[in-house]
Amino acid sequence: MILGGGPAGVGAAWQLARRKKARATVVERGATFGGNSGSFEAAGQRLDFGSHRLHPATEPHIMADIRKLLGDELLDRPRHGRIRLLGKWIHFPLKPVDLLLRLDKSFALGSLKDAIAKKLPGAPAEGDTFASVLRANLGPTICDHFYFPYAVKLWGHAPEELSGIQARRRVSAGNFGKLVKKVLGAVPGMKKPGAGRFFYPRRGFGAISEAYATEAKKQGAELLTNTTMTRVERSGETWRVHVEAQGAKQVLEADQLWSTIPITLLARAMQPAAPKEVLAATERISYRAMILVYVQLPIDQFTEFDAHYFPGADTRITRLSEPKNYAALTEPRGSTVLCAELPCAVGDRFWKMTDAELGQLVVDDLAASGIPVPKTPTAAFTRRLGQAYPIYLNGYEEPFKALDGWAESLPNAISYGRQGLFAHDNTHHALFMAYSAVECFEGGKFDRAKWTEFRKIFATHVVED
Separate counts of helices (H) and strands (E) for the chain: 17, 22
pLDDT band, very low/low/confident/very high, at 95 (cuts 50, 70, 90): confident
Mean pLDDT value across the chain: 93
Query: Judging by DSSP bridges, how do beta strands 228-235 and 238-245 pair with one another?
Result: antiparallel
- By the 10 Å C-beta count (0-12 exposed, 13-18 middle, 19+ buried), 336 is classed as buried
pLDDT at 124: 77
Tell which wins on pLDDT, 465 or 41. Answer: 41
Average pLDDT of the segment spanning 71-92: 95
Average pLDDT of the segment spanning 322-337: 96
pLDDT at 172: 62
Average pLDDT of the segment spanning 411-438: 96
- Rounded CA-CA distance 127/250 in Å is 51
- Rounded CA-CA distance 62/149 in Å is 36
User: φ and ψ at 351, to 5 degrees?
Assistant: -60, -30
- Rounded CA-CA distance 310/300 in Å is 23
Cα 89 to its chain centre, rounded Å, is 24
Average pLDDT of the segment spanning 128-141: 92
- Rounded CA-CA distance 285/291 in Å is 20
pLDDT at 179: 64
- Rounded CA-CA distance 396/405 in Å is 14
Average pLDDT of the segment spanning 4-24: 97
Tell which wins on pLDDT, 373 or 179. Answer: 373
Neighbour order of strands in the sheet with 248-254: 248-254, 238-245, 228-235, 270-271
pLDDT at 123: 74
- Above 60 in pLDDT, residue 186? no
- Distance between start and end Cα atoms, the chain: 33
pLDDT at 193: 63
pLDDT band, very low/low/confident/very high, at 175 (cuts 50, 70, 90): low
Bin 255: left if φ > 0, else alpha if -120 < ψ < 50, else beta.
alpha
- Above 70 in pLDDT, residue 190? no
How does pLDDT run across 199-253, given as a tens digit for each residue? Answer: 999 999 999 999 999 999 999 999 999 999 999 999 999 999 999 999 999 999 9
Strand partners, 42: 45
Question: What does 3-38 look like in DSSP terms, one character per residue?
Answer: E--SHHHHHHHHHHHHHS----EEE-SSSSS-GGG-
- Return the minimum-mean-pLDDT range out of 13-27, 53-67, 96-110: 96-110
How does pLDDT run across 387-399, given as a tens digit for each residue? Answer: 999 999 999 999 9
pLDDT at 195: 74
How does pLDDT run across 274-302, given as a tens digit for each residue? Answer: 999 999 999 999 999 999 999 999 999 99
- Rounded CA-CA distance 13/15 in Å is 6
Q: Percent of the chain having pLDDT more than 90?
A: 85
Please tell me what DSSP assigns to residue 276.
Answer: H
pLDDT at 94: 84
3-state secondary structure of 187: coil
pLDDT band, very low/low/confident/very high, at 114 (cuts 50, 70, 90): confident
> Does residue 2 contact residue 14 with C-beta atoms inside 8 Å?
no
Residue-range domains of the chain with CATH = 2-38+57-75+204-285+393-458 (3.50.50.60), 94-184 (1.10.3110), 286-390 (3.90.660.20)
Tell which wins on pLDDT, 191 or 454. Answer: 454
CA atoms within 13 A on the CB side of 45: 28
pLDDT at 178: 67
